[in-house]
Amino acid sequence: MPWIKVELIDRGYVDPRTGKKVSIEGRRNRPKIDPFAHLGMEYPAFIRDRENILEQYQKGTTMLFCVKTVPKIDPKFEAKEITEEEAKSLKRNVFGILEKVESGVS
């Protein structure tokens, strides 16, 4: 099964009073002084096709998918198909998921 690594798009932060995008550098999100709100992440459209996705993992802006068939991905997302070995390495090092070990002890 193919694995796909996708970098999500962070929509940034806005000032809730004005609706304009702002930098959060130096702000502490104090009400009425320097408020900001996060707009969230932008996800690729194929994420809605639940029948095609066998496994999925997310940490920060990085997502890893195991899919039945490789979907068409919008070019604005940084996405690439990776090998099974690269996927195992990402699962272990980025997402903190360890492989099950068969010990033979019952």
- pLDDT value for 58: 94
Residues 6+ positions from 2 with CB-CB distance below 8 Å:
66, 67, 69, 70, 81
Cα gap 8→101, rounded to integer Å? 32
- The tens digit of pLDDT for each residue in 16-32 reads 989 999 988 888 888 88
State the chain's mean pLDDT as an integer: 90
pLDDT tens digits along 30-44 = 888 888 999 999 999
pLDDT for residue 3? 95
Confidence check: pLDDT of 106 > 80: no
